[in-house]
Chain A
Amino acid sequence: MNVDFIFKIAGIGIVVSVLNQLLTRSGREEQAMLTTLAGLIVVLMMIVREISNLFQTIKSVFNL
């Protein structure tokens, strides 16, 4: 669990934002929305894995 995790997520967010802008400007609104949704799902899966990891660790530390 190092800092790269934050950078990965922020990087995905920025890429999705840029792609969204590109697609919206060139008139493809539906594809823009689909890109956003896809990015969101990818990032959510990464986060949920780490959240479950965190709660397991906290449970093991504090229940001892």
Chain B
Amino acid sequence: MELSKIIAVSLCAVVFSAVLKGQRPEFAVIVTIAAGLVILFQVVPYISGVAHEMLAAADKLGFGYSYLKVLFKITGIAYITEYGAGICRDAGENALATKVEMAGKVVIASAVLPIATKLFETVTGMVP
């Protein structure tokens, strides 16, 4: 799906959400969630293609394959965290959004831990 279609879909969803917000605000939130889902689903094949290409290139280069994998994992975590927190914030639940973001940060930190450990070991190994 091209970018202009995605933008058009999101504008439609904004209008629907505005219509429903006056009468049934809960449905407005759900329309926002649905629009986000539809757009993400359209975009995921492209992301998958790019990710596979980059991983193949790293494989051919013989360097950094595992690091690239962790990088993609972290990007995915950041993406869905932002999605969830954004919807919470749009619905007026700022505190909930902050909790979601904190959870995302903790998960990212735990995913990056092995690489950080390896980095520290390398650095301390270099110091005579």
Contact = CB atoms under 8 A, between A and B. Distances in A.
B41 A36 contact: no
Interface string B46-90: 011001100100000000000001001101110110000000000
Given A61-B76, A62-B73, A64-B51, A17 B9 contact: no
Chain B: interface size category: 35 or more
Interface residues of A, number: 32
B7 to A, nearest CB: 12
Contacts of A53: 41
Contacts, number: 97
B35 A61 contact: no
Interface in A11-64: 12-14, 16-17, 20-21, 36, 39-40, 43-44, 47, 50-51, 53-55, 57-59, 61-64
Interface of A: 1-3, 5-6, 9-10, 12-14, 16-17, 20-21, 36, 39-40, 43-44, 47, 50-51, 53-55, 57-59, 61-64
